[in-house]
Amino acid sequence: MRSALFRRYLVTAVASSAAVALLLTGCTAQGQEPSGDPSDRSSAEETSAPEDDGEAEGDAEETEEPAEQVLLDFGDESDQVRELQARLGQLGHFAAQPTGYYGDVTLGAVSEYQRSAGFEVSGTVYESTWAALTEATSTPTDEELYPPQQVMGYGDNSDQVRELQARLKQLGHFEENPTGYYGDVTTAAVTAYQQAAGLEATGTVFEPTWDALTAETETPTEEEMFPPLEVPEVEPVQDLDERCLTGRVLCISKTTSTLSWVIDGEVQMTVDVRFGAEETPTREGEFEVYWKSRNHHSTLYDSPMPYAMFFDGGQAVHYSQDFAANGYNGASHGCVNVRDEAAIAELFDDVREGDRVIVYW
């Protein structure tokens, strides 16, 4: 009896296992009913393979595309960088002269172009940036790629500027004595020469201007470049305002355009000075030095004011390089300009805060 029951249990278990196997095989074969033959099972396994292949293809579609190629980047130096700079210059993004070196200025210009063109701002020239830039510009000319080099320009201070002024004076374009400073008067003289010579009138000396000027003039002599300076005489005490005769006073006369440093009625030094223009006049009156600033720079006019001694609001006595170079052809914004740098440096050290300042006619 027990043996019969065991055999019945065994047959039932085998049948159940076969049914489970049949059901599993049917799912794998997507509903087909394979036979119990091993070849049918192999066929079912082969039929399931495309499902795996499909998943692999889906994974491949999600793979990111390769990064865009970089053509030019910071630190590069080549003729293509020079072309890049020239093309950016055509669009107003590169104001300097092309150099062929990809530095901070070029990086900033590329960034500005990318921003204006709607690209991601990186400062790096990718293929797309280059393609858009070349489409928006024309092939640079040789003059755009290799423009004439500047020899001298506004703000320069050197012996070469002094030679420039002496040569311009030989041709009647510069009437002052050479100073070595390239200011407004020198700019106007260069412009006049360029117009007379048929050159582009920029007021700046580029190679063609310098070549033409040196060919047309003689090498200046020492006396032409360094003419004797007129040293102002000490102003007589009797010509000073009576308020200047006691104590420590910066005595400033608008009549004689001089500043006298006076201590207890004795004149220590006298220097030439220049005053404000009609729109910004130097105020007359009695003041005192309330602040000294040796290396002052005006934030209002963005200009240097060395050895500044402030006496009334923003008005001060200070050295002016423009006055030294251009004389009375210009004017200040209300300050008292001194053109003798050595004298005002000495004066700056002598004057104390609290010393009186008298400005009078």
Give catalytic residue positions.
Answer: 318, 335
Residue 316 has φ and ψ, to the nearest 5°, of -150, 160
Instruction: Name the nearest CA neighbour of 282 among 240, 301, 254, 260.
Output: 254
Element holding 291 (H helix, E strand): strand 291-298
Tokens representing 63 are 């793979």
Nearest to 204 by CA among 217, 190, 214: 190
Q: How many residues does the chain have?
A: 361
Task: Give the integer Cα–Cα distance in Å for 316 and 302.
Answer: 15
Task: Identify the CA nearest to 48 among candidates 75, 26, 64.
Answer: 26
Contact (CB, 8 A) for 277 and 322: no
Residues 6+ apart with CB under 8 A from 196: 171, 173
Residue 361, helix vs strand vs coil:
coil
The answer to whether 351 and 309 are in contact (CB under 8 A) is: yes
Token pair listed for 158: 């050197």
Query: Which secondary structure element, helix H or strand E, spans residue 43, and what is its range?
Result: helix 38-47
Q: Parallel, antiparallel, or unpaired: how do β-strands 258-263 and 303-312 relate? A: unpaired
Per-residue b or e along 1-31, where b marks 16 or more CB atoms closer than 10 Å to that residue's CB: eeeeeeeeeeeeeeeeeeeeeeeebeeebee
Token pair, residue 247, equals 């104590």
CB-based contact 252:336 (threshold 8 Å): yes
In angstroms, the CA 318 to CA 339 distance is 9
